[in-house]
Chain A
Amino acid sequence: MSATPVLRVSALTKRFHGVIALDQVYLDVHAGEIVALIGPSGCGKSTLLRCLTWLEQPDDGFIEVAGKPLGRELTPGGVVRHQSRRQIDALRPQVGIVFQQFNLWPHMTALENVVRPQTVVLGRPRAEAIRRGEELLTRLGLADRMDRHPHALSGGQKQRVAIARALAMDPALMLFDEPTSALDPELVGEVLAVLRSLAEIGMTMLVVTHEIGFAANVADRIAFMDQGRILEEGPARDIIAAPKEPRLRNFIDLVMANRRHDNPGTTIDTTE
Chain B
Amino acid sequence: MGFKLDFLLSILPRLIGAAAVNIRLAVIIMLLALALGTALTIVRSLKVAAVNACIAVVISFVRGTPLLIQIFIAYYVLPAVGLDLSPEVAGVSAIAFNSMVFVSESMRGGLATIDVGQIEASTALGLPPHAIWLRVVLPQLFRRIVPVLINEATIVVKGTALLSVITVVDVLRTAQQIASASYRPFETMIGSALVFLVINLVISLSGRVAESRFATARA
Contact = CB atoms under 8 A, between A and B. Distances in A.
B128 A53 contact: no
Interface in B107-143: 115, 117-118, 120-129, 131, 135-136, 139-140, 143
Interface residues of B, number: 21
Contact of B121 (A103, A107, A149): A103
Main secondary structure of the interface of A (DSSP, over half): helix
A152 B217 CA distance: 12
Given A101-B117, A106-B140, A165 B128 contact: no
Interface in A156-194: 162, 165-166, 169
B4 interface: no
B47 interface: no
B213 interface: no
A166 B117 contact: no
A55 B143 contact: no
Contacts of B115: 101, 103
Contact of B125 (A149, A151, A166): A166
Contacts of A92: 123-126
Contact of B124 (A86, A95, A101, A151): A95
B121 A85 contact: no
Given A103-B117, A103-B118, A93 B125 contact: yes
Contacts of A53: 123-124
A116 B128 CA distance: 13
Interface of B: 115, 117-118, 120-129, 131, 135-136, 139-140, 143, 218-219
Given A104-B118, A105-B122, 18 more contacts: A53-B123, A85-B128, A85-B129, A86-B128, A89-B127, A90-B126, A92-B123, A92-B125, A93-B126, A101-B115, A103-B121, A105-B136, A107-B139, A117-B125, A117-B127, A120-B127, A121-B127, A166-B125
